[in-house]
Amino acid sequence: MGRPILLFSGPWADLPLDSLATKAAGWGYSGFELCCWGDHLEVQRGLSDDGYSPARLDLLARQDLQVPVIANHKIGQAVCDVIDKRHQSLLPDYVWGDGSPEGVQQRAAEEMKATFRLAERLGAGVVSGFTGSPIWGYVAGYPAPRPDVISDALRQFARQWHPILDAAREAGVRFACEVHPGQLAFDLYSAELVLDALDGREEFGFTFDPSHMHWQGFDPVEFLRRFPDRIYHVHIKDAQLTLNGRAGVLAGYWPSGDPRAGWQFRSPGHGGIDWVSIVRTLNAIGYDGPLSVDWHDPGMDREYGAADALRFLKSIDFDPPSHGPKAFRG
C-alpha cells in the first residue's frame, strides 16, 4: 500500500530539528510526527511569529519531508492528571506557572487549544497526544474505586476536553489519543468508556500503538477491529515480555532496559508483536494514514535502529487484494 512512514521526533528531541531532518531523510523517511518540545516545534512562537511556521516547513521541505502529524503528549498529560512535582519537568515554565494544580490544568488546556491552531497553520491534519487521567492511581491499587468515582472522573474528563475538542473542530484537525497505561484510555474497554463520555464526537479518536497492548496482554488486532473508524494515527513500536518468574507486567520502579522489568520495548520486528496480522487488519479497516516509528530499544544503537525499522516496515506494508472482501467495520 505504501503508506507514508514517519519518524516520531519525540524520542529524538535532544537533537536539533535540522540535524534530525538530515538524518531522517538519509534513512529514507517521508516525514515527521513532529513533537512540541525540544527545539522541534514551539507552540506559542508558532502562533505569535508569522514567519516561524513557514520556516519550519521550509527546513523540512529542503529534505523532502512532510509533517502530517504533530504531537503534544507532555501538555496533554497535564490536562486531566493529578498534578504533582513530576509534571514540572514535562511542562514549559509558562504552563507550569506557580505549580498550583488547577492553574496547571487550565494552562495546559489552553496550550492544547493552541496546538490545534498551530497544526492548522502547518497543514497537519492530526494532533497526537495524551489526555492524562485523574484516576490512574486506582487501576492497580487498593482500595478499589467505587463506580461513582469512575463516573465522576469521566465527567471531569469530558468537561476538560470538550472545549479543547471544540478548538480542534474549528481548526479542522483531529485528536488522536494514544492508548497507553497512565491514560484514561489504556485498553479496549476503557477506550469505550472515554468515547462514550465524549458522546462519540468525531474530533476524538486514537493513536494505535500495539506495543502498549502487547505489554498489557491484550490483542492489538482486537482493538483495531473494535474501533475501525477511530484509528486516526498509528505508532510502530515493538515490545517483548521478559517474564522470568520474578517480574510482572506493571512498569515497576525500574528504568528502561533494567533486567528487573517484566517487559521491554524493542525496535520493530525485534519483539513479540505479530506485525503481519496488524498490517492485514489495517488493510481490512481501510486505514491509509501514516505509520509513525516511535523508536525505543534500550539494547540497540538508535541510528541503526531507525534505519532498520524503516526497512522492516517497507518489507511488511503490503497491498490488500484489489478485489478482496469489503473492509471490516465492526
Domain for residue 165, yes or no?
yes
Domain housing 304? 5-316
Cα 151–Cα 175–Cα 199 angle in degrees, nearest 5: 35
Domain for residue 230, yes or no?
yes
Between 323 and 279, the higher pLDDT residue: 279
SS3 231: strand
Domain for residue 29, yes or no?
yes
Domain for residue 148, yes or no?
yes
Neighbours of 15 (CB within 10 A): 16
Domain for residue 185, yes or no?
yes
- Hey, what's the cell of 154? 469521566
DSSP state of 91: S
Q: What's the pLDDT at 142?
A: 86
Q: Residue 290: which CATH number?
A: 3.20.20.150
Q: What are the tens digits of pLDDT across the range 85-141?
A: 999 999 999 999 999 999 999 999 999 999 999 999 999 999 999 999 999 999 987
Q: What's the pLDDT at 140?
A: 81
Domain for residue 229, yes or no?
yes
Return the axis-axis angle of helices 52-61 and 17-27, rounded to nearest 10°: 30
Domain for residue 321, yes or no?
no
Torsion angle, CA of 65/67/125/324, rounded to 10 degrees?
A: 50
Q: What are the tens digits of pLDDT across the range 152-182?
A: 999 999 999 999 999 999 999 999 999 999 9
Q: What are the tens digits of pLDDT across the range 223-268?
A: 999 999 999 999 999 999 999 999 999 888 999 999 999 999 999 9
Residue 5's beta-bridge partner residues? Answer: 291
- Hey, what's the cell of 184? 484514561
| Domain total in the chain | 1
- Hey, what's the cell of 13? 528531541
Domain for residue 241, yes or no?
yes
